[in-house]
Amino acid sequence: MDTFDMANITNYFLAQGPFAVLFVWLFWYQLKNSEGREIKYQDLLQAMTEKYDDITKELKEVKERLPVKR
């Protein structure tokens, strides 16, 4: 396998049998699935970070309005 392209990889695993093909397909499917899931998690973390900043800001404002304990 001099060149690293999909056709050579596919032919190599086809020669190894159906279980090798199944493994490669499942591996490829999992990589693609994980990529989409990772993007969703990053978006969720970004949204939570923005909300956290808002909550801490509001909490500081509430603390400033409360009377000082002595």
Q: How many domains does the chain have?
A: 1
pLDDT for 1: 43
Per-residue pLDDT of the chain (70 residues; tens, 9 = 90+): 455 687 887 787 778 887 877 888 898 899 888 988 999 999 999 999 989 989 999 999 998 888 877 7
pLDDT for 36: 87
This prediction has a pTM of 0.47
Q: Residue 39 class from Cβ within 10 Å (0-12 exposed, 13-18 middle, 19+ buried)?
A: exposed
pLDDT for 14: 78
Calpha distance 49→22 (Å, rounded): 40
Q: Which residues contact 24 (CB under 8 A, 6 or more apart)?
A: 9, 10, 13
Range of the domain at 49: 6-65
pLDDT for 15: 82
| 32 within some domain | yes
- For residues 14 and 21, is the Cβ–Cβ distance under 8 A? yes
| 70 within some domain | no
